Structure 1
Amino acid sequence: MKKLKIVQQIVNEGVVAVLRGKSAEDVVAMAEQAIAGDIKVIEVTMTVPFALQAIETLAKKYSASAAPDSDRYAIIGVGTALDPETARAAILAGAEFVVGPSLNPATVALCNRYRVPIMPGVMTVKEIQEALELGVDICKLFPGNLYSPSTISAIKGPLPQANLMPTGGVNLANLGDWIRAGAVAVGIGSDLTNEAVKTGDYELIRRRSAEYIDAYRKAKGLS
């Protein structure tokens, strides 16, 4: 039941912050600002030095057990998980979902074994079908900047059961188009953090996060 609950929460929240940085401390600071801006799903990529340390720190602070029934609650996951070994290490560090840049059947099997949501990257209808057959609940359409929102409605013609989350190239200008086209969620990376990293003002991430959440809610007709 926990896996289904987390999948539903990711869909309900609709926006995933994909965080990369120079250190675990950088990413923790970014995540804190994103959460303060109301993005409640945080993906820490394994390209970050000591990424597992960042995941553990955030999970201890923001997980349901750490902050039950609190506005501080957030879902902390791992990204750029290339293999099952990486996924398992991240799960043990506190990751509640796993994201990969590609479809790795062994990683999917590992996550299914431990009932942890897995969102592998896909580029073709064939990969999406394979992911569905492996039991994947949400497929990451990646890199999203190679596609347009109309791609989702085209894919859903033959595969209406596929849940797609574009990542890469999603920004404030096109987020609404992706959601209205049928994306169950979107992944936001550099557009969320680039300005803050350049200026050293991480509060910009909080303000940017609030803008993304507002855009998502408007696209869903929630505000």
Structure 2
Amino acid sequence: MSKLNEQLAALKVIPVIAINDANDAAPLAKVLVENGMPCAEITFRTPAAAQAIRNMRDAYPKMLIGSGTVLTTEQVDQSIAAGVDFIVSPGFNPTTVKYCQQRGVTIIPGVNSPSLVEQAMEMGLQTLKFFPAEPSGGVSMLKALTAVYPVKFMPTGGVTANNVDQYLSIPAVLACGGTWMVPTNLVDNKQWDELAALVKAAVAIVNPD
């Protein structure tokens, strides 16, 4: 198993975060690190994404940080320049995948069908995002895919505190992407104590020991 896969499997949940103000990145990283979730997937759904990643990386050099919703090679370049450990895309775009491979950065592209899984495998990928997880058939669909294909999955999209355990019980699932512990409105309002409580609760759900 790759080092990244080991890190993802140890974390079990990756918070998927849209940051509107890059100045919120470092305090949010502090909340995540101090409450047992030293990782983040910062999505390129906002213009602040690249700077937010940079701020998070500067504040916590050892954090596991990925960029999400990466749709273009320009966003790949911005992600690498900002210091990401990996890149996540919502769909499977061979151009983006090839570019990441050329640049030497791991990409976890989104798939939700047998054909897409096979196309990804054809390009040498062994870790894929199952997205959007719940609308694509959820746990039963993912079980069907994992019964056939020898790849690892990171389901994202509709994963919540109520169903995350069902996804994590599938042996081929490394970790789940989730937004429920990092709601954008709480980040925007700098409600760090409320976020800390949500993060702590999420960690407790996936590590019940």
TM-score (norm 1): 0.84
Matches within 5 A, 1:160-199: 161-182=150-171, 183-189=173-179, 191-194=180-183, 196-197=186-187
Structure 2 SS opposite 1:120: strand
Instruction: Go from structure 1 to structure 2 and tell me whether the alpha carbon gap of 1:130 and 1:38 turns closer, same or farther (over 3 Å shift).
Output: same
For residue 42 of structure 2, the aligned residue among 44, 49, 54 is 44
Residue 21 of structure 1 corresponds to 19
Residue 68 of structure 1 corresponds to none
Task: Compute the displacement of 1:81 (Å).
Answer: 0.5
- Rounded to whole Å, the distance in 2 between the matches of 1:88 and 1:200 is 29
For residue 86 of structure 1, the aligned residue among 75, 96, 100 is 75
Task: Compute the displacement of 1:121 (Å).
Answer: 1.1
Instruction: Figure out how many residues of one structure are paired with residues of the other and give that number.
Output: 206
For residue 139 of structure 2, the aligned residue among 136, 142, 149 is 149
Task: Compute the displacement of 1:18 (Å).
Answer: 0.5
- Counterpart amino acid of 1:90? S
Percent of pairs with identical residues: 27
- Rounded to whole Å, the distance in 2 between the matches of 1:4 and 1:116 is 13
Structure 2 SS opposite 1:111: helix
- Rounded to whole Å, the distance in 2 between the matches of 1:38 and 1:52 is 24
- Structure 1: runs of 5+ lacking an equivalent: 64-72
- Counterpart amino acid of 1:77? G
For residue 202 of structure 2, the aligned residue among 195, 209, 212 is 212
- Rounded to whole Å, the distance in 2 between the matches of 1:45 and 1:132 is 24
- Rounded to whole Å, the distance in 2 between the matches of 1:108 and 1:215 is 33
- Counterpart amino acid of 1:204? E
- Structure 2: runs of 5+ lacking an equivalent: none
RMSD over aligned Cα, in angstroms? 2.0
Is 1:78–1:99's contact at 8 Å kept on the other side of the alignment? yes
- Rounded to whole Å, the distance in 2 between the matches of 1:103 and 1:156 is 18
Is 1:118–1:137's contact at 8 Å kept on the other side of the alignment? no
- Rounded to whole Å, the distance in 1 between the matches of 2:151 and 2:192 is 36
Is 1:17–1:188's contact at 8 Å kept on the other side of the alignment? yes
